[in-house]
């Protein structure tokens, strides 16, 4: 069960938190780890409500800020994080999970609008959300439980930010951008006692990867290549995220933690 090992007081903020994907698993893992003030967002209002209900089942006394919207919209993101600051007066953990996959096309077949959408959601959306969180973290002092950490940001990239695969140039580029953005921010905010890392999941069993027969078939070769020969679970990614947010990871900075069943080594 994700989140049972770490004790994480304070305030957590998770994007892409609707439904049964990585973001929802991360939000529930924070609740299991003693984090009772949680802010969640997703573009799908109904699925976001299901995550809110799941958090309250874990901790009926949890304080939850839940707001649906588009994380590639600067005004929405800034307003959301300002609301978190107003409600909770701080922000200790920001986990940027929102992302989209895109179509299975080579570059000459890909429309500019499709490229722009992937880049806008995956890269720009992560940057906007991370930027807003960092701005809030700079205004606060570390928790007594985390005396060397003013805040922790974890961005969700992908194994395809480390290695490439056919017919996914825009997606691979967007996830690679997140990895190097993470590294640059890690350098910039070390002096402020803010840690910035990312997780690079392999093929994870989520609605995005199992929602259609075409996508499932597209991802099958990646599963077959990985030595563990299976999809990962959202909870396995949540465990990695919570570790990077925890005091146990206090000297880990600018790292891209690959959680892919061995895909990138094979």
| Active site members | 171, 175
E strands in 43-182: 63-68, 93-96, 151-156
Compute the chain's Rg from CA coordinates. Answer: 17
Q: Under a CB-based contact definition with an 8 Å cutoff, are residues 235 and 136 in contact?
A: no
Q: Under a CB-based contact definition with an 8 Å cutoff, are residues 243 and 30 in contact?
A: no
Pick from 231, 238, 233: which is nearest to 215 by CA? 231
Which strands make up the sheet holding 194-201, listed edge to edge?
63-68, 37-42, 11-15, 93-96, 151-156, 194-201, 256-259
Treating both helix axes as pointing N-terminal to C-terminal, what angle do 22-32 and 45-58 enclose, rounded to 10 degrees? 20
Q: Tokens at residue 78, please?
A: 């800034």
Tell me the C-alpha distance between 158 and 75, whole Å.
Answer: 26
The residues pairing with 14 across neighbouring beta strands, listed in sequence order, are 40, 95
First-to-last alpha carbon distance for the chain, in angstroms, is 28
Q: Under a CB-based contact definition with an 8 Å cutoff, are residues 159 and 211 in contact?
A: no
């Amino acid at each position: 069960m994700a989140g049972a090992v770490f004790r994480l007081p304070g305030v957590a903020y998770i994007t892409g938190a609707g439904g049964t994907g990585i973001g929802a698993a991360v939000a529930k893992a924070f609740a299991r780890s003693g984090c009772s003030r949680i802010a969640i967002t997703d573009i799908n209002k109904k699925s976001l409500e299901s995550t809110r209900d799941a958090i309250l089942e874990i901790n009926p006394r949890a304080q939850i800020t839940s707001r649906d919207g588009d994380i590639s919209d600067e005004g929405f993101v800034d307003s959301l994080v300002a609301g978190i600051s107003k409600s909770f007066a701080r922000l200790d953990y920001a986990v940027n999970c929102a992302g989209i996959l895109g179509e299975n096309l080579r570059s000459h077949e890909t429309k500019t609008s499709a490229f722009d959408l992937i880049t806008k959601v995956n890269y720009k959306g992560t940057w906007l959300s991370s930027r807003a969180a960092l701005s809030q973290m700079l205004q606060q002092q570390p928790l007594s439980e985390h005396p060397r950490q003013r805040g922790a940001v974890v961005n969700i990239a992908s194994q395809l930010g480390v290695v490439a695969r056919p017919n996914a140039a825009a997606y691979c580029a967007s996830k690679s951008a997140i990895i190097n953005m993470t590294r640059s921010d890690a350098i910039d905010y070390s002096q402020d006692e803010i840690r910035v890392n990312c997780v690079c999941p392999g093929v994870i069993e989520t609605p995005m990867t199992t929602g259609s027969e075409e996508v499932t078939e597209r991802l099958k070769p990646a599963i077959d290549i990985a030595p563990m020969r299976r999809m990962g679970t959202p909870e396995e990614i949540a465990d990695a995220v919570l570790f990077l947010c925890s005091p146990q990871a206090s000297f880990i900075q600018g790292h891209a933690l690959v959680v892919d069943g061995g895909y990138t080594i094979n």
